[in-house]
Amino acid sequence: MAGTEGRMSTARDRSAVWMMVILAVVAALALIIGGVAWYKPGAPSVSSRTLLAPSKEATTSANGLTPAQQLFARRMYLEQVQSGTNIDRLAEGKLVSFDVTSRKVAEDTATVGITAHFVDGTSAPGSIGLVRDKGSWYFFSMEGERGSGVSGYAAGVDPKGSDQVDSFADVPDSAIDWNLAAEMVRQQTSQQEYLKALVEGPTARYVLGKPSSGAGTVNIDATVYSKGHKVKPAKIRLVLVPSTFDGRPYTFVAGMRPLGN
Amino acid sequence: MPTMNRGAVAGTVMGVLVVAVLGVGLASGLIMQRRAVALDSAPAPVLVVFTGHAESGARVSAFTFVVKPTGAASLIDPSSQLSLPGVSATTVGDASAFAGAQDIAAAIGAGAAHWAEFPETEWVAALAASGPVSVDVPEAVDTFDGHQVHSYRAGPQVVLPEDVSHLANAAQFLPADERAVLLGSLARAVITSVAATSSPARARSDMSAEALSAQLGRLAAEATFSGLASPAGGAR
């Protein structure tokens, strides 16, 4: 009898414990519901969405380019690295104008001879190198010639840039900013009017404005004059992009676009 | 018998306690909701931040402005200086990378009694739903977002919703008067789209969605921004 009463007592105890557990859970839910309403009075129902901007990382690889175009973009990018010192001068606003002095076109390359005029009144000869691909011209390099006895900025021009890329073949693909390289090709493909005029004429002179910073760009507005002013001067913008190569800052010529006259 | 009595007593006591706690929890929620309604019933200026991302990818305040109960609004210059404890950002534009609208409102004052913050995903979705937008670009601008150069000519034009963010970033580099024109033009387009959707319900705010929606609706109808303000001074 005592054993039966003891089992009954134990069963009642278990019921009481279960009752307490269930009630405690209900109480916890009530506190949570009440607490949320208390903590965010009048707050919108959805407030925990991520605030981070969406990433475009996965959608745009450098590549919207074919393997052949990638090789072309790689060479264009590295040639501009090699001209880094001179392009930096351009981005820093040290050049005020340059005159076209000669044109030499051979197969798919062109060398446009120029005289660069600097803000300090000095000038230096040099050349702009362009390469043709499928009938379109692309800006590759900017070289200067140090004459004897020159001073000022003219004395600082770089024959092939002090930032030599000794051998393009040795540069690993991982060192290339492929997104930028691909965009340089795309931009210039769509801006052939000004590049062709530089290589084939009638462009005779670029007068450069002061560089201005943009969001991820350096912009230089310029007026392009033709020989004998036979063609109405065109107002264009050189769009340069600051980036890095091998851990060092470089500026790249992405393209040029019309500004309207 | 004594064992059974202890269990019954404990169960009863717990039951009473649970009912009491339940009542207090629910009552507190109801009281605070009534307080929120009371706050909303007295319209006051609200500081609104639309977060965005710079071309570098960093989170920024794309548009920050104070909306008065009348619907009139003044844009806060993104280059306005502010100081937030423990935060390295020194401008309103950069502050969103580290702080919410509530902190920004507290730091710059500007007479705002309430705050609201629209995540970029929300206002971009609202723009996408409303389609191309008309904006006034005071001078030609270019941006590079690490993938693509985005170029815009000067003058009134219709742009795609995804262009709004690039133009907002470009505005930071324009002279103050041109920055005001471009940001005002962009903010109007965004507000009009947001007010026409359920976006206010998904904003973070100390106001109810209804009250916030009503205030933004008045702004959308008014559709004017009174230039760029630098409440904390020190605009670039």
Strand-pair category, A212-213 with B46-53? unpaired
More confident residue, A185 or B19: A185
The rounded percent of chain A whose pLDDT value lies above 90 is 56
Asked if A259 lies within 8 A of B140 by C-beta distance, the reply is: yes
Strand-pair category, B149-152 with B225-229? unpaired
Q: Confidence class of residue B183 from pLDDT cuts 50, 70 and 90?
A: very high
Helix segments in B71-224, DSSP class H: 92-95, 101-108, 120-130, 161-171, 176-195, 209-222
Asked if B22 lies within 8 A of A257 by C-beta distance, the reply is: no
Is the ipTM beyond the 0.90 threshold? no
Residue A228 has pLDDT above 90, yes or no: no
Token pair recorded at residue A43:
């707050």
Over residues B215-223, mean pLDDT: 81
Task: List, in sequence order, every beta strand (DSSP E) within B119-184.
Answer: 133-137, 141-144, 149-152, 155-159
Report the distance separating Cα B149 and Cα A53, nearest Å: 19
Give the pLDDT score at A21.
64
Report the distance separating Cα A131 and Cα A107, nearest Å: 9
Report the distance separating Cα A126 and Cα A112, nearest Å: 9
Over residues B99-108, mean pLDDT: 83
Residue B40 has pLDDT above 90, yes or no: no
A7 in B contact zone (CB under 8 Å): no
A33 in B contact zone (CB under 8 Å): yes
Q: Angle CA(A83)–CA(A88)–CA(A89) in degrees, nearest 5?
A: 105
Give the pLDDT score at B148.
94
Amino acid letter at B30? L
Report the distance separating Cα A193 and Cα A195, nearest Å: 6
Q: Which residue in the block uniquely carries the two structure tokens 């900013």?
A: A177
Q: Which of A120-134, A232-246, A247-261 has the lowest mean pLDDT?
A: A247-261
| Contact in structure between B79 and B236 (CB atoms under 8 Å) | yes
CA-based nearest residue in chain B for residue A9: B4
Residue A126, strand partner residues: A114, A144
Q: Confidence class of residue B234 from pLDDT cuts 50, 70 and 90?
A: very low
Contacts with B111 (C-beta within 8 Å, 6 or more apart), sequence order: B45, B66
Best residue in B56, B142, B150, B213 to probe A by mutation, most A CBs within 10 Å? Answer: B142
Average pLDDT taken over every residue of chain B: 80
Asked if B33 lies within 8 A of A37 by C-beta distance, the reply is: yes
Q: Which residues does chain B have within 8 Å of residue A43's beta carbon, measured at their own beta carbons?
A: 204-206
Q: Which residues does chain B have within 8 Å of residue A37's beta carbon, measured at their own beta carbons?
A: 28-30, 32-33
Count, residues in chain B: 236
Report the distance separating Cα B163 and Cα B157, nearest Å: 11
Best residue in B149, B152, B197, B212 to probe A by mutation, most A CBs within 10 Å? Answer: B149
Reduce the DSSP state of residue A80 to 3 states and report it.
Answer: helix
pTM equals 0.74
Structure-derived torsion over alpha carbons of residues B141, B83, B208, A40, reported in degrees to the nearest 10: 130
Count Cβ neighbours within 10 Å for each residue of A145-168 and write b for 16 or more, e otherwise. Answer: beeeebeebbebbbeebebebeee
Q: Which of B6-10, B76-80, B137-141 has the largest mean confidence?
A: B137-141
Best residue in B141, B144, B174 to probe A by mutation, most A CBs within 10 Å? Answer: B144
| Contact in structure between B132 and B160 (CB atoms under 8 Å) | yes
| Contact in structure between B85 and B17 (CB atoms under 8 Å) | no
Structure-derived torsion over alpha carbons of residues B173, B174, B177, B180, reported in degrees to the nearest 10: -60
Q: Which residues does chain A have within 8 Å of residue B22's beta carbon, measured at their own beta carbons?
A: 26-27, 30
How far is the first Cα of chain B from the last one, in angstroms, to the nearest whole number?
84
Give the pLDDT score at B76.
86
